[in-house]
Amino acid sequence: MLNYFWGKGPKGPEMGQEEKGKAGDSDTSVGSGSPAADPAEELKSAANEAFKDHKFAHAVDLYTQALEIRSDNAILYANRAFAHIKLEEYGSAVEDASKAIEIDPLYPKGYYRRGSAYVALGKFKDALKDFRQVAKIRPRDPDAQKKLKECEKAVQKLRFEEAIAQEEQDHPSVAETIDVSSMEVEPAYDGPRLEGDQLTLEFVKEMLETFKKQKKLHRRYAFQILLQIREMLKSTPTLVDVTIAPGAHFTVCGDVHGQFYDLLNIFELEGLPSLENPYLFNGDFVDRGSFSVEVIFTLFAFKCLYPTGLYLSRGNHESRSMNKIYGFDGEVKAKYSDNMAELFAEVFCALPLAHLLNNKVLVVHGGLFSQDGVKLDDIRKIDRFREPPDEGLMCELLWSDPKPGTGRSPSKRGVGVAFGEDVTKAFLEDNRLDLIVRSHEVKEEGYEIEHDGKLVTVFSAPNYCDQMGNKGAFIRFKSDMKPKYTKYSAVPHPNVRPMAYANNFLNFLS
C-alpha cells in the first residue's frame, strides 16, 4: 500500500495546523475554539489516530461522522479520500477529493489526493491535470514540480506503449516465437532440472526450495511451464464445473498477491495440492507483493502437474494494465525478460472467470452484476480471451463488491458495481444456487459472511502489503457444501518490500 501525502508534513492525513499559511490551507482547523470543545475536531483527531494505526475503515467512519457536523470542510474530505485510497476504494477517493476541491479550489491536497487516486486506477492523463494544478497553486514548491515532471514522463510512456500495442495487434502470439529447445541449461545452474516435457512432483518440490532461497527457476523451465499452462487453459471453459464427491474435500483460497511465503504456509496448514487435496485459487495471484513470480510459477506448476488438483480463476489483477502499475510486469522483466512478461499477459487472458462447485456454490473473484436476470449460461458465453473491459459482465465478475442493504450503487473502486443483499438473493434463486464465494477485498479476520449468510468473502494474503494487520483465511468444502473456515497469521519473509517493482511514478508518490 502507498503513503500518499503532500509537502513536508507527516506521512498521514492532515493533522490540522502543520501547513497553516500555505496555499489552500488558511483554515486548517475543523472548527473554532479549542479541539476539546469541538465535536468535529475530536472526531477528526480520533480518525487520524485510527489512520496511523492502519484502521482505515474505522478512520473513514470517523471522518464521515465529522463531516456530518462540518460538511463544508475540505481537510476532512481530503483526509477521508486518503483513507479510501488505503482501502483501494479509488472511486470514493476521487469523489471526496473532488468535493474538497469544490469547497476550496486553491486547496492543493484536494488535487493531490485525486491525482493519486487516478494514478492508482491507471488514469495517468487525468492525474496529470491534477498535478499540473498542484504545481500551478505552488509554483515555487520543488516537490510539486518534481511530481509533475514524473507524471508527465509516465503519461508519455503510456502513450508510447499504447502506440506499440496498436502496432502489434496483428502480430503473431509471442508464444509462437519461443523455442524452448534452444534454451541451454548451463552447467552452473543449481536449481531443479527436468528431463523431458512432463513436470514431476520432485521437480516442483525442488523448485519451491529454490524459490525459498530467493533463487530463480531456469528460464527454459519457466517458459516450458508457461507454454504448457497456456495450452491447458485455452481449452478450459469460462465457467468451470467442479464435483466434490462424497468423502472428498475442496479448498478455496482468495487473493495471494505475491506473498509467496504465506502461500507456502497455506500448504503447510492444508497440504500440497494433489488429486486428493484439490484447491481453487480465486484470482489476484500477483501484484503488490514482491514475490509474485514465485507465486505464479508455483500455482502454474501444480496446475500442470495436477489439472484437477488445482484450479485457477482470473482476478482483476491478472491484467496487463494492473500489472504495469502494481509490480508484476516490472518483476517479471527484472527477473526474466520482456517477452516473458508479454507471454504472461497472453496466459492471463486464458484464465477462466468462475467455478461452480457441485451445482450449488458459485466462486468468482469480484461479484455480481449491474443488471438483473443474469444466468450461469450468460457467464459461460463470455468472450474472456482478452484484456478485461471497463464495463459488462466480465468487468463486473472481476471488480464488483457487495454492500450492506439492498439495491445497487456505483462502486467505491470506480470500476464495477456495489450490489446489495436483494441482488445476491435474486441471483441465487434465478440460478438455483445456495452460496456465492468471492474474494477481492481485505478482511480483518481473513473472511466475512454477508447478505444473510448467502455470500462469503475470503482473502488469503495476511498482513496485506506488510501493514494491514489482517488475518488470511481459506475455506474447505465437503460434499455437503457446508463451508469450514481456517484463519492464519502472516509468516516472516525476506526483506523485500511490497511494491518493489511497481510503476516508477507510483513508487515516487510513496
Q: Among the three residues 149, 165, 181, which one is the final residue of a domain in this structure?
A: 165
Burial (CB count within 10 angstroms: exposed 0-12, middle 13-18, buried 19+), residue 33: exposed
Number of structural domains found in the chain: 2
109 with 250, same domain: the answer is no
Q: pLDDT of 369-382, one tens digit each? A: 999 999 999 999 99
Give the C-alpha separation, 314 to 364, whole Å: 8
Contact by Cβ (8 Å): 253, 279: yes
Q: pLDDT of 254-296, one tens digit each? A: 999 999 999 999 999 999 999 999 999 999 999 999 999 999 9
169-to-163, 209, 486 alpha-carbon distances in Å: 10, 39, 45
236 with 98, same domain: the answer is no
> Does residue 204 sit within a domain?
no
137 with 61, same domain: the answer is yes
Q: What angle do CA 87, 368, 419 make, to 5 degrees?
A: 60
> Does residue 203 sit within a domain?
no
Whole-number pLDDT of residue 20: 32
The CATH number of residue 359's host domain is 3.60.21.10
For residue 304, count other CB atoms closer than 10 A to its CB: 19
> Does residue 377 sit within a domain?
yes
Nearest residue to 415 (alpha-carbon basis) of 428, 400, 431: 400
129 with 260, same domain: the answer is no
Contact by Cβ (8 Å): 293, 335: yes
227 with 345, same domain: the answer is yes
123 with 268, same domain: the answer is no
Give the C-alpha separation, 327 to 314, whole Å: 17
Whole-number pLDDT of residue 367: 98
234 with 350, same domain: the answer is yes
**DSSP one-letter code for 471:** P
Q: Please spell the DSSP secondary structure of 151-174, one letter per residue.
A: HHHHHHHHHHHHHHHHHTTTSPPG
Q: Among the three residues 165, 182, 197, which one is the final residue of a domain in this structure?
A: 165
257 with 145, same domain: the answer is no
Contacts of 499 (CB under 8 A, 6+ apart): 1, 2, 288, 290, 326, 327, 465, 506, 507, 510
Q: Are strands 361-364 and 354-357 parallel, antiparallel or unpaired?
A: antiparallel
458-to-5, 424, 446, 461, 487 alpha-carbon distances in Å: 31, 17, 6, 10, 10
Which value, to the nearest 10 degrees, does the dihedral of the CA atoms of residues 170, 171, 173, 179 take?
170
Give the C-alpha separation, 111 to 23, whole Å: 12
> Does residue 296 sit within a domain?
yes
Q: Among the three residues 145, 165, 185, which one is the final residue of a domain in this structure?
A: 165
Cβ burial 359-388 (10 Å sphere, 16+ → b, else e): eebbbbbbbbbbeeebebeebeebebeeeb
> Does residue 126 sit within a domain?
yes
**CA atoms lying within 13 Å on the CB side of residue 6:** 32
> Does residue 52 sit within a domain?
yes
The CATH number of residue 42's host domain is 1.25.40.10
> Does residue 334 sit within a domain?
yes
Q: Are strands 239-242 and 354-357 parallel, antiparallel or unpaired?
A: parallel
Residue type, 45: S
Joined together, the cell numbers standing for residue 189 give 545452474
Contact by Cβ (8 Å): 295, 289: yes
243 with 156, same domain: the answer is no
295 with 391, same domain: the answer is yes
Q: Is-catalytic flag, 317?
A: yes
For residue 465, count other CB atoms closer than 10 A to its CB: 18
149 with 254, same domain: the answer is no
153 with 43, same domain: the answer is yes
Question: Phi and psi for 291 in degrees, rounded to 5?
Answer: -120, 40
478 Ramachandran zone, left/alpha/beta (phi>0; psi -120 to 50):
beta
Positions in the chain whose pLDDT score sits under 50: 1-11, 16-35
> Does residue 138 sit within a domain?
yes
Q: What percent of the chain lies above the pLDDT cut of 90?
A: 80
Domain residues for the domain of 402 are 221-508
Catalytic residue among 317, 440, 451, 493: 317
